[in-house]
Amino acid sequence: GEDNPEVQQAHERGIPVIKRAEMLGELMRLKFSVGIAGTHGKTTTTSMIGKILRHANLQPTLIVGGVVAELGTGATLGAGEYLVTEVDEYDRSIYSTFPSLAVVLNVEPDHLDCYRDEADLLDAFVSYMNRVPFYGSVVLSADDNRLSGVMERVTRPMKTFGFSPHADYRAVDVVLEKGQSSFAVFCRDEFLGKLHLTVPGRHNVANALAATAAATELEVPFATIADALAEFTGVGRRFELVGTANGITVIDDYAHHPTEINATLSTARQQFDGRIIAVFQPHLYSRTRDFLPDFVTSLAAADQCILTDIYPAREEPIPGITSDRIRQEAQKAGYDHFEYVGKKENAIEAVVSLARPGDTVLIIGAGSITHIRNDLLRRLEAE
C-alpha cells in the first residue's frame, strides 16, 4: 500500500511504482514471450516449456507461480531471446500481458469476484489470444468446450492440442502407470515420436502435450522435447511427495478448485493401493460458496476427508460460508466420511488417529495448509 516505506521512497525519488502484472506485461515486450494461461496447469506447463528450452540451449528467462523442483526457485534470468511466463487471469491482470506465443490450457469459471460472469471471463482469454502479433501464434486446447466455443473469434494463427481426434497435436495410446505415463504424439497425421513422463496423472499428459506443441511451434526438435520431458521432475506442491512414515505416505498438493481436486485424487488412486485420507483447507470464501456442491462431489472420492477452516487470503468472511458447510452438504448427500476440525493444526491429530500403514495422506489447498506437512510427518514417525 501507499504507507509502505519502500513505496514512499520510490515516490520521493521519482521511481515508477507499478503492479506486478503491469511490470510482467512490459517485460514481455523485451523478448519473444511465451505466455501460458488457463485455469489449471499453468505452473507445471510453464516449467515444462522452460525445461525444454533450457535443454535446447536457448537460455530462456522463466517466471512461474511455483517452485520448479530442479531450479529451487520460481524465476530464472536467461541470456536467450525467449521469456516464458505464467499468465494469471486473477484481478483481470491477463489484460496487461503481451505474448508472442499465447498458450491457453483450459478455461473454467474461477475468480468470478473479478469478472461479471463466464462470458466476461472468456472475453479476457479471447482478448489475450488476439494480442499476439501477426508473426506469433496461439496454442490452445481442443478438449475444452468453452475454448471450442470461442475459437472462431481468434484472429491469429492457431494450433490446437489434446486427446481429441480433431486436435493438431494429439496424444495417442496413453498408458498411465504408477507415478508415470507414456504416449505417442502426432501432429496431424505425422507421428512425431513417443513421450515418457515421470510426473503422474492424465492432467500432466495434457500439460506435456501443450508444452510439446508450444516448443514445436518454436522449432525445437522433437528428440530434444522428449529428452527434456523425460527428465522433468515436477513443481513444488504439485502432487509433491513429503515423505513416508510407518508405512503412511504424505503428499502435498496445491489443488484448490474441484476439477484440480478430482485430478489429484484420481492420480492418488492410480499410484497408491491403500486408503486415501484428504486434508482440505478451502481457499477463499467466495470460491467455497460458488463451488459448494462440486467440492462435496470431488472430495467424496477420498476414503476420509478432514476439513480445516477456510483460508481467507484477500477476502472478508461471507455469512454462512464455512468449511463445516461442506461437511453439512456432504452429510445431506449421504456421505459420512467428512470431518470438520477447525484450525489447521487440529488436522494433524485427526490424521494421526485415523491413519494406518498403507494409507496415503493428501494435504490439499492453496493456502497455509502446506505448513503442517513437516509436523504431520514427524508425528506419524513418532507413533
Which residues are part of the catalytic machinery? 42-43, 86
CB neighbours of residue 316 within 10 Å: 7
Closest CA to 299 of 359, 255, 248, 244: 255
For 168: left if phi > 0, alpha if psi spans -120 to 50, otherwise beta; the answer is alpha
Q: Chain centroid to CA 170: how far?
A: 21
- Which three cell numbers mark 100? 508472442
CA distances in angstroms from 299 to 106, 134, 312, 368, listed in the order given: 22, 44, 20, 19
Quote the DSSP letter at residue 209: H
Strands (E), the chain: 32-37, 61-68, 73-76, 82-86, 101-104, 137-141, 158-162, 169-177, 180-187, 190-197, 240-245, 248-253, 276-280, 304-308, 338-342, 360-364
Ramachandran category for residue 261: left, alpha or beta (phi over 0 → left; psi -120 to 50 → alpha)? alpha
Residue 358 backbone zone (phi > 0: left; psi -120 to 50: alpha; other: beta): left
Identify whether the C-beta of residue 232 lies closer than 8 Å to the C-beta of residue 48: yes
Q: What is the DSSP string of 12-57?
A: HHT-----HHHHHHHHTTTSEEEEEESSSSHHHHHHHHHHHHHHTT
